[in-house]
């Protein structure tokens, strides 16, 4: 009888340990959302997350976006602005607690269209809210600075960006 009770207690203990593992595995590993910044006026992005230790994770992002040539016309009429298709990619490390993270990373945009700079690399950093549960909204507020500076960029590259999306 004692062995039977001990066996059931051990089974319950093991089930509890498995629940903890399952709860960690439930953290959403995918994000899809809209991004304003990082070289695009607006972009649709997909992001994949790799959890490292529960307090930090890596995030890889790819997207497709839109931007226009940056022009300021003071006197007379301007020619129409060139339009660009943007493909933003980035990899970032995120450090923090269960939902709030400091994000630091590197990014790259490919600019499709007639431009003198079809490829731009940049650093990024900022704040990320990443929920623990699936089907919840996440958001990021960040800065991004091109390695080559803002000179010679035909497109509007905003130094501050915002991203909002859904975790699944």
Handedness of CA 53, 54, 56, 60 (dihedral sign): positive
Q: Looking at per-residue confidence, does 83 or 148 come out higher?
A: 83
Q: Quickly count: other Cβ atoms within 10 Å of residue 43's Cβ.
A: 26
Is the CB of residue 60 less than 8 Å from the CB of residue 47?
yes
Q: Looking at per-residue confidence, does 6 or 89 come out higher?
A: 89
CA distance 144 to 2: 64
Tens of pLDDT, residues 1-13: 454 445 444 444 4
Q: Quickly count: other Cβ atoms within 10 Å of residue 98's Cβ.
A: 11
Tens of pLDDT, residues 127-152: 999 998 899 999 999 999 999 877 76
């Amino acid at each position: 009888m004692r062995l039977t009770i001990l066996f059931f207690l051990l089974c319950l203990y093991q089930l509890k340990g498995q629940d903890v593992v399952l709860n960690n595995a439930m953290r959403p590993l995918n994000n899809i959302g809209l991004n304003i910044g990082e070289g695009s006026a607006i972009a649709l992005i997909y992001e994949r997350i790799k959890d490292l230790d529960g307090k930090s994770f890596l995030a890889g992002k790819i997207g497709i976006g839109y931007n226009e040539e940056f022009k300021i016309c003071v006197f007379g009429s301007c020619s129409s602005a060139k339009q660009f298709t943007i493909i933003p990619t980035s990899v970032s490390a995120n450090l923090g607690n269960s939902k709030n993270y400091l994000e630091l990373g590197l990014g790259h945009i490919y600019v499709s269209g007639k431009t003198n700079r079809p490829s731009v690399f940049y650093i990024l950093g900022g704040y990320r809210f990443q929920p623990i549960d699936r089907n919840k909204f996440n958001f990021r507020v960040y800065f991004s600075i091109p390695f080559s500076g803002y000179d010679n960029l035909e497109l509007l590259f905003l130094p501050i960006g915002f991203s909002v999306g859904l975790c699944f």
